Structure 1
Amino acid sequence: MDHTRRDALVGSALALSVATAGCLDFAAGEGPQGPDGTPPTLDCDDDAFVRLDRPFEGSVTETVVETDATTLELSTEGTTETYGQSLRLILRNTGDDPAPTLGEFAYSIQRETGDGWLDVRGSTTGEAVELPRTEVSLDAGSTYSWDLTLTEAGIADAVDGLDLTVCPPLGPGIYRFVYWGVVGAPPIGAEFELVG
């Protein structure tokens, strides 16, 4: 049986197209798989899932909050983030005096829904859990910083010593990071859009 150069090229092209199709299918599954836009609410198929409560009342101040003694500012590197990338946030005490806080884990990651802003995280133990709170002072000029990987595992694993899950999966839409741990002050937040 004689094989021509053309037969070899056709065979190679076919093999390449099959391999590429497999890569595209794999890549397509790596983006956000949750509801798109502004869902009515966040539904989880796991009956044991208990969403984190909203630990603060009232509205969220934009990115700056003033206490009786000092000023704190929350900043982020961008307002549009791609699924799987990192979201970097910094809370800085820009005033001259220390600020009492509830520690670095006193934050919520919420999604905008028809029911309002809901935390994307929760527990699958069937029982409510609370985020760790440690009363510490954030000195003048000092910061808390977060580098959150925008995946379900990246967000769920960001709190040490607490077994959390994100449910439903993240989807393209509007989210916000809210730090509610400044004692005696309203929470501050930064919104961002998650894209595929």
Structure 2
Amino acid sequence: MTRSRRELLSRAGGALAAVGTTAAAGCLDFAAGDGPQGPEGTPATLSCTDEEFVRLEAPFSEPVETRTVEANGTRVELSTEGTSETYGSSLRLVLRNNGDAAVATRGEHAYSIQRRTGAGWQEVRGSPTGEPVELPREDRSLATNGTYSWSVTLEEDALASGVPGTEIAVCPPLGPGTHRFVYWGVVDAAPVGIEFELVG
């Protein structure tokens, strides 16, 4: 079928307008709140509007060692690729046994994700059911040069689904500020952690 030049230009213009509308809608979606929606900086505390929310309690006491810890003469190191990550990106961490003997651990899920507040470090996750929950623990041995590795996506649903078989949520939403990942699963050793900044 033969079309006039004017008709073809008109159809092309309509297609470009549709693409432009879609692109603008994507920008509006991002501007409407795809970034971190929680409190900024160092909030006084972490408050949740959900009355059923029960925050996870830290199964360890301070102080938290930075990056390395000793367990029965064996050195265990926690490392990360970066200490500043944007909302929705992944924080990659590795716990490695750098010593000459195996170390006992409580498994891969023996970690906390905390936010610095005026009241101290607080876990960002908790139970949405009104009942307290505990993170799963399993007795595992980490051999010499053995590792645990995590890719922690800094987004509420991803953090909530990061522990299989456990119903947890993040409340309030993540916000720009100082956080830390703490592995507390090395038996007979202090917890070891790394601080990182979550940015918009």
**Normalization by structure 1: what TM-score?**
0.91
Aligned residues: 194
1:82 aligned onto 2:49: no
Deviations 1:137-181 (A, max 9, x none): 111110001111110011111111101100000011110000001
**Counterpart residue identity of residue 26, structure 1:** D
Check whether the contact 1:69–1:98 (CA below 8 A) recurs between aligned residues. Answer: no
Partner of 2:192: 188
Question: Post-superposition shift, 1:62?
Answer: 0.4
1:121 aligned onto 2:132: no
Partner of 1:26: 29
- Identical-pair percentage: 57
Gap regions ≥5 residues in structure 1: none
The worse-fitting range, judged by mean Cα deviation, of 67-76 and 18-27 is: 18-27
**Counterpart residue identity of residue 147, structure 1:** S
Partner of 1:101: 105
1:63 aligned onto 2:67: yes
**Counterpart residue identity of residue 53, structure 2:** F
List, as ranges, runs of 4+ consecutive aligned residues in structure 1 with deviation greater than 3 Å: 7-21
Alignment of 1:157-196 (within 5 A): 157-196=161-200
Question: Post-superposition shift, 1:22?
Answer: 2.3
Deviations 1:19-39 (A, max 9, x none): 444222201221111111111
Deviations 1:30-80 (A, max 9, x none): 111111111111111110000000110121100000122311000000010
DSSP 3-state at the match of 1:41: coil
Q: Distance in 2 between matches of 1:16 and 1:70?
A: 59
Check whether the contact 1:101–1:137 (CA below 8 A) recurs between aligned residues. Answer: yes
**Counterpart residue identity of residue 120, structure 1:** V
Question: Post-superposition shift, 1:13?
Answer: 8.7
Partner of 2:3: none
Q: Distance in 1 between matches of 2:18 and 2:107?
A: 55
DSSP 3-state at the match of 2:66: coil
Aligned pair in 2 of structure 1 residues 140, 13: CA closer, same or farther (>3 Å)?
closer
**Counterpart residue identity of residue 29, structure 2:** F
**Counterpart residue identity of residue 51, structure 2:** D
Partner of 2:155: 151
Q: Distance in 2 between matches of 1:8 and 1:64?
A: 64
**Counterpart residue identity of residue 37, structure 2:** Q
**Normalization by structure 2: what TM-score?**
0.89
Q: Distance in 1 between matches of 2:16 and 2:43?
A: 43
Question: Post-superposition shift, 1:11?
Answer: 8.2
DSSP 3-state at the match of 1:171: coil
Determine which of 111, 115, 127 is the counterpart of 1:111: 115
Check whether the contact 1:69–1:99 (CA below 8 A) recurs between aligned residues. Answer: no
Root mean square deviation of aligned Cα: 2.1
Q: Distance in 2 between matches of 1:27 and 1:156?
A: 22
